[in-house]
Chain A
Amino acid sequence: MVNGEKPSQDNNGRKKVLEVKGLKTHFFTGEGCVCAVDGVDFYVKEKEVFGLVGESGCGKSVTSLSILRLVDVPGKIVAGEVCFDGKNLLDLTETEMVKMRGEKISMVFQQPQPSLNPVFTVGDQIAEVFRVHCGMDKGKAWERAVELLKMVGIPDPETKAHAYPHEMSGGQAQRVMIAMGLALNPKLLIADEPSTALDVTIQAQILQLMRNLVEKFGTSVILITHDLGVIAEMADRVAVMYAGQIVESADIYELFDHPRHPYTQGLIGSIPVLGRVKERLEVIPGTVPELVNLPPGCRFAPRCKAREQYNLDICTQVDPELEEITPEHPVRCWLYKDHGDHKAPLSVS
């Protein structure tokens, strides 16, 4: 409890570690305002893996950078709240944010090699985390770094700590990133496509490592990826993003059993699943819209087969809100909601 406020809880009684409300991050470019993140709401509970899934350009990476306030000019967080640890992160000073990053919230990026400093050894880079945040002396910090390398499964950690990033493979470098991310036992780890750049057998190792460590330390994770297979394996709950908005969110089993938004349905149907060969994959016609000068209405409307099927006009006129249609399963879609003269063509018991 902070300042006498009631800790926010979800229906299961587990505390919310992070709550994002109405987040908007816009990029003010020469061509106009690119509304990369345009009204995003979600929360992450203690000890859960929350998946944020979507294709390129949907705004998932910018969302995570916004949480950590790492968005650079011409981007700017223009609205919303990011509630973490009883505070709104968007109100903190930069000094206070620096303390948050690494200690309370940390991040693992997609490409490990460009994210590591090429002129320092990996041991030094991990040790730096302890020197800066805990004021440890060099010797002790180095010891902790070697311990961490061992924990993430780097063979011969005492020697490998003296290696430079370019002397390591992609998989090893990613393990170093994970070690740095978990070094200070943060409450929340944001993993942005942590295994996408890796070969499939290495990806399996990294995901297994993350699962084990997260269970061991009780960290909450926001897992950002376009890979529905990774989400199905790792996440407890998922939000699907499209063109800067969340279009659907649910528990992992519920999402795959009952995907409600036409985009989610199309996404799931268009993936070849190992062991289940279909004659033809489902197709979502068309492409993702430009985020500048968006037309009114639902952003998915031009590509939506359901809109055609039910002959809905409202989709190109009014933007639907994200609303729960079954408990804990919000969807942003006119198929399930009435509005004025429009009657929802589908109902869910």
Chain B
Amino acid sequence: MVEKVTDKKIGSDLIEVKNLKKYFPVRGGVLQRVVNWVKAVDDVSFTIRTGETLGLVGESGCGKTTVGRSILRLIEPTDGSVCYEGQNIVDIGQNELKSIRRHMQIIFQDPYASLDPRVLIGDTVMRGLNIHKIGSKEERWDKMIDAMERVGLRDYHARRFPHEFSGGQRQRIGIARALVLQPEFIVCDEPVSALDVSIQSQVLNLLKDLQEELKLTYLFISHDLSVVEHISHRVAVMYLGKMVELAGKDALFNDPKHPYTKALMSAIPIADPRAKRDRVILKGDVPSPLNPPKGCRFHPRCPIAVEKCSQEEPEFREVSPDHWVACWMVD
């Protein structure tokens, strides 16, 4: 029986990320020396609270997936700390990390690439239990079946291969795999982007239900603001490796402060022909993280930038209770 996963108080800090950086080296030349760095995540700090869904949004190249994977150390951070229950997991050894990893799982975006095509899905879902040596063989089977049923699949599905399932079903299998270890925290990396709209809603409702039942905490990464609004309690916006805004859902959607957030929201096409809005259409393309602009990274495309913006990087500060922004033009 998959029970409530945590006794921790809802709302307490579960994960604290401080000054997280991830730079990927670019090598070139005959000797393959490092010639440049892709600053995918460049000094990002935030907390995730027990029982909440923190939405993390941004366009391609902003660093959101890298943040998600760095928190789990699927990618090793270049600098900074990630504290789980007060313990920094960045420097700890592999064995200690393994025991903590039980509590932190991930659901991947691509339901076609994230399941081993040659392994029965029952075995795929059980793998975590095998790795952590939890229970006897029978108990592991029972836990696996329980997780499958939780996500709306049946026990006979366990003896099938991934290709026998649709995209939506495979995504459910991915969720079962994440759930089976009864983690406290799940990184959901664009879990519905690859799914058709009518399947998306099934999976989103399921994630919401599971969170309520099991007191799960999610980091929900997505480029789709409408989906994020639906499922999140608080939302963070990233641009080119930096976090530019972080606030409660209502505060962010009703009163966005950063010009990029405003542009992002007004860019989304709304499924209502009568909805009229003041659209902010940004000029130019998203710059490359190889050569980010000096000062505020958004300044070349910003409709309200002034000279200071091109020279000094703004700090990420709390401008109203629990509402953080990095912008010189917001006070």
Which residues of A pack against B, CB within 8 Å?
A: 55-56, 155, 169, 171-172, 199-205, 207-208, 226-233, 252-253, 256, 266-268, 270-275, 277-278, 280-285, 287-288
Q: Choose the segment among B174-182, B275-283, B320-328 that binds chain A (4+ C-beta atoms closer than 8 Å).
A: B275-283
The distance from the CB of B262 to the nearest CB of chain A, in whole angstroms, is 11
| CA of A329 to CA of B230, assembled, Å | 32
A280 and B197: CB pair below 8 A?
Answer: no
Interfacial chain B residues near A55, Cβ < 8 Å: 196-198
| CA of A283 to CA of B197, assembled, Å | 10
| CA of A131 to CA of B205, assembled, Å | 55
A172 and B285: CB pair below 8 A?
Answer: yes
| CA of A288 to CA of B225, assembled, Å | 26
The distance from the CB of B146 to the nearest CB of chain A, in whole angstroms, is 22
Residue in contact with A232 in the complex, picked from B204, B266, B270, B281, CB distance below 8 Å: B270
Interfacial chain B residues near A280, Cβ < 8 Å: 205, 208
The distance from the CB of A235 to the nearest CB of chain B, in whole angstroms, is 8
Interfacial chain A residues near B208, Cβ < 8 Å: 280
Using A55-B198, A270-B197, A280-B205 as known contacts, say yes or no to A256 and B285 having CB atoms under 8 A apart: no
| CA of A281 to CA of B275, assembled, Å | 20
Using A171-B285, A205-B281, A280-B205 as known contacts, say yes or no to A233 and B270 having CB atoms under 8 A apart: yes
Q: What are 27 sample pairs from A and B whose C-beta atoms fall under 8 A apart?
A: A199-B223, A200-B59, A200-B223, A201-B59, A202-B59, A204-B267, A204-B269, A207-B269, A208-B279, A208-B281, A231-B271, A233-B270, A252-B273, A270-B197, A271-B201, A271-B271, A273-B270, A274-B265, A274-B268, A275-B253, A278-B230, A281-B201, A281-B204, A281-B230, A283-B198, A283-B201, A288-B196
8 new A-B contacts, CB < 8 A, other than A232-B273, A274-B268, are A169-B285, A199-B59, A199-B223, A208-B279, A227-B269, A231-B271, A232-B275, A283-B201
| CA of A55 to CA of B279, assembled, Å | 27
The distance from the CB of B196 to the nearest CB of chain A, in whole angstroms, is 4
Using A205-B282, A280-B205 as known contacts, say yes or no to A274 and B197 having CB atoms under 8 A apart: no
| CA of A233 to CA of B285, assembled, Å | 22
The distance from the CB of A236 to the nearest CB of chain B, in whole angstroms, is 10
A201 and B198: CB pair below 8 A?
Answer: no
B273 and A274: CB pair below 8 A?
Answer: no
B281 and A284: CB pair below 8 A?
Answer: no
Residue in contact with A200 in the complex, picked from B199, B229, B267, CB distance below 8 Å: B267
B267 and A267: CB pair below 8 A?
Answer: no
B201 and A228: CB pair below 8 A?
Answer: no
B229 and A272: CB pair below 8 A?
Answer: yes
CB nearest neighbor in B for A227: B269
Q: Does B226 contact A (CB under 8 A)?
A: yes
A201 and B270: CB pair below 8 A?
Answer: no
| CA of A278 to CA of B205, assembled, Å | 11
B225 and A274: CB pair below 8 A?
Answer: yes
Interfacial chain A residues near B269, Cβ < 8 Å: 203-204, 207, 227, 229-230, 232-233
| CA of A226 to CA of B195, assembled, Å | 11
| CA of A218 to CA of B110, assembled, Å | 40
The distance from the CB of A281 to the nearest CB of chain B, in whole angstroms, is 4
| CA of A87 to CA of B31, assembled, Å | 64
Using A232-B272, A283-B201 as known contacts, say yes or no to A201 and B263 having CB atoms under 8 A apart: yes
Residue in contact with A204 in the complex, picked from B202, B223, B225, B281, CB distance below 8 Å: B281
A56 and B196: CB pair below 8 A?
Answer: yes
Using A201-B59, A232-B275, A271-B226 as known contacts, say yes or no to A266 and B270 having CB atoms under 8 A apart: no
The distance from the CB of A306 to the nearest CB of chain B, in whole angstroms, is 15
| CA of A199 to CA of B199, assembled, Å | 22
Q: Does B60 contact A (CB under 8 A)?
A: yes
Residue in contact with B286 in the complex, picked from A199, A208, A256, A271, CB distance below 8 Å: A199
CB nearest neighbor in B for A209: B281
The distance from the CB of A4 to the nearest CB of chain B, in whole angstroms, is 40
Interfacial chain A residues near B162, Cβ < 8 Å: none
| CA of A230 to CA of B267, assembled, Å | 11
B195-217: CB near A (< 8 Å → 1, else 0) gives 01111111011001000000000
| CA of A284 to CA of B275, assembled, Å | 25
